[in-house]
Structure 1
Amino acid sequence: MSYPQHTGEMASHPEIAEMRERLERTASSGQAIAVEGLILLAGVYIAISPWVVHFTNEPNITVNNLVVGITVGLIGLALTLAPERMFRLAWVVAPLGLWLLLSPWVVTASHSARAGIVWNNCWVGGATIVLGLAAMGLTIGVTRRSGQR
């Protein structure tokens, strides 16, 4: 059974150019630039937080924060460098923030995580959730505005 190939039909659709223009305007707005930059900074802080808060003696949570921080930082960098291609990935930041919030109790071996680990991950996790929701809000705004016409 052969399926018809529909290559190029969406690229020539008249609303695609308008949607790209709206996305470009939103991505270059001051709000979007601030959110993208804050996501990048949050990712960098998450990655270095085990050394800043001095909980490198807990290897599991150290590796967890390093990996999550690098991931959030790369998403922030991608949103900054290529927002028109990456705006649909912005939703991933909020679940990563939720994971940071929960990880001290899930990842630590002793299940009696030090207060510094808990406070650090709760604050930075909450901030990451808020930034992820803000990035999603910008994305939803672009999608809704392009669907109204």
Structure 2
Amino acid sequence: MSSSTPIAGHPDLAELRMRYERASETPTAQMADGLTVLGGLFVALSPWITGFAGTTPSLALNNLVTGLTAVMLGLSFAAAYHRTHGIAWTCPVLGAWVIVSVFVMSGTAVTLSTVLCNVIGGAVLVLAGLGTMAPAMASRASS
């Protein structure tokens, strides 16, 4: 039998947790998390705010699900970045999907309001997602 330290108490793991904790406390990370939540709320509610929910129900449902997913990601990044930083790449992907979805989903009426809502909301999610990924990338580069 060897007397080794349990993995939970390993000094390298504790240092890694502290590094991600410091990264999540930066103003850039906090702003990115907040923008992710706000962008997700905008995407989720935009079909009803601009009135295209009745004409394109498939896009409205897509925006609702994608937006609420982004909201949950933003909240999880803000609450536990050290545990969720590994899935930060999904936020820019969701944003790109929001932008493209208005053009590729069947049964979607391509109107000015649908295009503007999806492009603006998607761009906010892409930029906020890249901002969320930045502290983890900087943390890896400095180690």
TM-score by length of 2: 0.88
Rounded to whole Å, the distance in 2 between the matches of 1:44 and 1:124 is 9
SS at match of 1:75: helix
Structure 1: runs of 5+ lacking an equivalent: 1-7
| Superposed CA offset, 1:55-83 (max 9, x none) | 01110000000000010000001111112
Taking the TM superposition and a 5 Å limit, the aligned residue runs for 1:51-130 are 51-57=48-54, 58-110=56-108, 112-130=109-127
Rounded to whole Å, the distance in 1 between the matches of 2:119 and 2:41 is 16
Q: 1:25 aligns with which of 15, 22, 25?
A: 22
Q: What displacement does 1:137 show?
A: 1.4
SS at match of 2:21: helix
Q: 1:45 aligns with which of 42, 51, 67?
A: 42
Indicate the structure whose relative CO is greater, using CA pairs within 8 Å and at least 6 residues apart. Answer: 2
* Partner in structure 2 of residue 138 of structure 1: 135
Matched pairs, number: 138
Percent sequence identity over matched residues?
31
TM-score by length of 1: 0.85
Structure 2: runs of 5+ lacking an equivalent: none
Segment drifting more, 21-30 vs 69-78? 21-30
Displacement over 4 Å in runs of 4+: none
For the 8 Å contact 2:52–2:60, the answer to whether it is kept is yes
| Superposed CA offset, 1:22-64 (max 9, x none) | 1111111111111111111111111111011110111000000
Which one-letter code corresponds to 2:49 in the other structure? V
Rounded to whole Å, the distance in 2 between the matches of 1:119 and 1:42 is 13
Rounded to whole Å, the distance in 2 between the matches of 1:10 and 1:106 is 47
Segment drifting more, 125-134 vs 56-65? 125-134
